[in-house]
Amino acid sequence: MRLALVALCCSRAFAAPQYALHETYAGADFFSKWDFWSAPDPSGGSVQYADRSTAAAAGLARATAADGAYLGVDMTSAANNATGRKSVRIQSKATYNAGLFIVDVKHIPTGCGTWPAFWLYGEDDAHKWPAWGEYDIIEGMHTAGETMTTLHTRSQCRQQQVVPGEDFTEMWQLGPSGSPADDCDVNAPGQFHNQGCSQRGPKGSMGSDFNSRGGGIFAAEWDPEARHMRAWFWPRGSEPADVRSGFPEPDSWDKPYSFFSLDPETCTADHFKNMRLVFNVNLCGELGTPFFAQSCPKEAKAMTCQQFVSKPGNLKEAFWSLSGLKVYLRGGVAAS
């Protein structure tokens, strides 16, 4: 009995602290905690990202307590193929080095030409991307019905030991040879350039089905101490009770659809540092353009991706609608 009590005491002493709410991005002041990116798109998209005042005046970014936050493309003006269509990219003022990120999404941008994402990345003048890594939590293109969840890193971040069905419920995305894209290095041999290590999300986690069913909840955990990054998706109404109550316990949830290891033998945790949250709606670009004919064969017979998105009537579903985003931290650390 004495040994059992000692073991119980020690297990409690060394258990990871519970998650506590650190930041809420919601309501009428949603955009006050974000910066608007207005530089040229680094991924070659057919977009002009609008600054804060331009986006607000054009109705591309707005938020209310009742309706949540809206971010979308300009749906009224014809766009010049060379300069692109006005759109929105925002990134958090805060940076993170760990956390549990739970986002309630009512509508995800979808349709031919679209390339939306919710992601984190780290960069400053002395540490150019991908030195501090990138974690794409929600990402898709065109009419895709499943999200992609992906890491992009410098060299020496390999995930070959992570097994579908054992560590996560879904599957690896494939490289050009049909092999799993399980090397996170943006220059990994045998993978598409900048493919990273990429996993497919559940059916209905993107696209028109997601939107018609009222959206859903995504949770992504970045835990360097536990040596993993993992993600879950629940259609609206099926999320765990502890998510609804605001006291999430990821270890009590079902197996994640996405899992990446931060084992120091294969991918040290310092591949990911000082990352900001990002929402954006890109169009075409380095990912969308190569897959336009495959995803939208009818449209591709008549025009290029850039020509397609130059017509405002083709982009009526190119917007995010968010109830809110909550960031939880263990022990109240790891953000600035």
Angle subtended at Cα 235 by Cα 30 and Cα 230, rounded to the nearest 5 degrees: 75
Burial, 292: exposed, middle or buried (Cβ in 10 Å; 0-12, 13-18, 19+)? Answer: buried
Dihedral sign, CA of 321, 198, 282, 284?
negative
Which is nearest to 71 in space by CA: 280, 220, 238, 299?
A: 280
- Asked if 176 contacts 192 with a C-beta cutoff of 8 angstroms, the reply is yes
303: which 2 tokens? 């025009």
Question: What is the rounded (10 degree) CA torsion for 60, 66, 109, 306?
Answer: -10
Q: Is 139 a catalytic residue?
A: yes
Measured CA distances, 10 to 5, 98, 99, 120, 150 (Å): 9, 25, 25, 35, 36
DSSP string covering 160-201, please? TT--BTTTBSS-B-B-TTSSB--B-BTT-TTS-TT--EEEE-
**How far does Cα 13 stand from its chain's mean position?**
34
Q: Which of 134, 146, 221, 317 is catalytic?
A: 134
Of 23, 139, 239, 299, the active-site residue reads: 139
Q: Which helix (H) or strand (E) holds 295?
A: helix 292-295
Look-up of token digits 């579908």? 164
Which residues are identified as catalytic?
A: 134, 139
